[in-house]
């Protein structure tokens, strides 16, 4: 089965073609970062307009790369949520329009399920069951995964997610948008011994996260340095390092607890923050101590992309799922509400 995947949940237009017999055939991604950078964040109306402008050309690009025509498609998967409703509707309406014209099924896919299963696109995918740490945009979650659609939420952020905290810290330090990668780059120049920030909710049992207090602590430290004229380049770098170390330590501690609690030996880490170099280094040590193994998507599949949507869509379409005549766009959609196909 050849499935076209469409991702338009936020500020990246992703398209990919997945074949259930031959794997990923082609993928393309257009980022809106340069457009939104002037505003310091995503402007939903501009995002929707840009998806409209880029989506059909990207679909044609992917088909050309794979050497296929639209008539060769067997199904279309698209991100139905969560995300920006206008952006979601661009992908949903395009998918349903094409599917109806080609008389093939369309299926709305959960964005976070895409991230969760993105490592399945790699040469050595994880087997079920496993624990997954999802750190993407506004989501920080630990999930026990027993199979496609069989998810049990172990813990999640009760306020700011890790990615949001990275972006807000970047603004405090007057860094460019998008902020997360900029904080990580600046942290490489920081002194790890100058500041030690709190590791939130690690001094109590449980697997939930909270990064709002850490964000406030970071702001207070930055303001204190500014008051004494020490918020220079090195001061910003030292704050970035202390912040990153605190986030990484918190995520690692919670992953360690989740593996111990479930007794599982496989950990999937996915979403934008999963590309963080320090997080990967620390997790390699911790999972190794437990005789476990960590799995990640390749770099370009850590952030939003069409390949993860095409993969999940192919698995669910192959099992007989499909949308009814109505397209689906769900800005808020709990992952644990999904069902097996």
Q: Which of 235, 305, 240 is nearest to 274 (CA)?
A: 305
Per DSSP, 292 falls in state -
**Residue 138 among known ligand-binding residues:** yes
Whole-number Å distance between alpha carbons of 177 and 241: 18
**Residue 217 among known ligand-binding residues:** no
**Residue 157 among known ligand-binding residues:** no
**Residue 103 among known ligand-binding residues:** no
Burial string for 109-127 (b: 16+ CB within 10 Å, else e) reads: bbbbbbbbbbbbbeeeebe
Distance (Å) of CA 215 to CA 15, 50, 242, 258, 288: 34, 31, 11, 24, 30
> Looking at the DSSP assignment, which residues form a beta bridge with residue 6?
15, 78
> Looking at the DSSP assignment, which residues form a beta bridge with residue 150?
147
**Residue 85 among known ligand-binding residues:** no
**Residue 135 among known ligand-binding residues:** yes
**Residue 31 among known ligand-binding residues:** no
Name the token pair of 217: 């602590």
> Looking at the DSSP assignment, which residues form a beta bridge with residue 295?
268
Name the token pair of 268: 């999937």
> Looking at the DSSP assignment, which residues form a beta bridge with residue 15?
6, 28
Cβ distance 239 to 195 under 8 Å?
Answer: yes
Name the token pair of 131: 């624990």
Cβ distance 81 to 330 under 8 Å?
Answer: yes
**Residue 123 among known ligand-binding residues:** no
**Residue 190 among known ligand-binding residues:** no
Q: Which of 112, 105, 208 is nearest to 158 (CA)?
A: 208
Give the residue numbers of the binding site for Fe cation.
111, 115, 304
Give the residue numbers of the binding site for substrate.
134-138, 167, 180, 276
Give the residue numbers of the binding site.
111, 115, 134-138, 167, 180, 276, 304
């Amino acid at each position: 089965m050849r499935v076209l995947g469409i991702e338009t949940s936020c500020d990246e237009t992703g398209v990919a073609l997945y074949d259930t017999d031959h794997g990923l055939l082609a993928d393309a991604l257009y980022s809106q970062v340069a457009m939104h950078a002037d505003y310091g964040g995503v402007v939903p109306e501009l995002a929707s307009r840009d998806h409209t402008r880029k989506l059909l050309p990207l679909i044609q690009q992917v088909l050309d790369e794979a050497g296929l025509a639209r008539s060769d498609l067997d199904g279309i998967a698209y991100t139905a949520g969560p995300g920006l409703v206008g952006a979601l509707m661009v992908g949903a309406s395009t998918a349903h329009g094409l599917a109806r014209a080609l008389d093939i099924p369309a299926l709305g896919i959960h964005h976070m399920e895409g991230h969760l299963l993105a490592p399945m696109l790699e040469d050595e995918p994880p087997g079920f069951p496993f624990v997954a740490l999802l750190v993407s945009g506004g989501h920080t979650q630990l999930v026990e995964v027993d199979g496609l659609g069989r998810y049990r939420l172990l813990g999640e952020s009760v306020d700011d997610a890790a990615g949001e905290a990275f972006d807000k810290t970047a603004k405090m330090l007057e860094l460019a948008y998008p902020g997360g990668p900029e904080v990580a780059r600046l942290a490489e120049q920081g002194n790890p011994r100058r500041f030690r920030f709190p590791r939130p909710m690690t001094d109590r049992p449980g697997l939930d996260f909270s990064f709002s207090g850490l964000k406030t602590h970071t702001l207070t430290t930055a303001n204190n340095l500014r008051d004494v004229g020490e918020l220079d380049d090195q001061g910003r770098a030292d704050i970035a390092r202390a912040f990153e170390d605190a986030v990484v330590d918190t995520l690692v501690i919670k992953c360690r607890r989740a593996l111990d609690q479930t007794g599982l030996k496989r950990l999937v880490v996915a979403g934008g923050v999963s590309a963080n170099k320090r997080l990967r280094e620390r997790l390699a040590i911790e999972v190794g101590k437990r005789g476990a193994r960590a799995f990640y998507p390749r770099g370009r599949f850590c952030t939003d992309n069409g390949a993860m949507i095409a993969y999940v869509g192919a698995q669910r379409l192959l099992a007989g799922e499909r949308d009814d005549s109505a397209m689906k766009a769900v800005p808020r959609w709990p992952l644990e509400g999904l069902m097996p196909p």
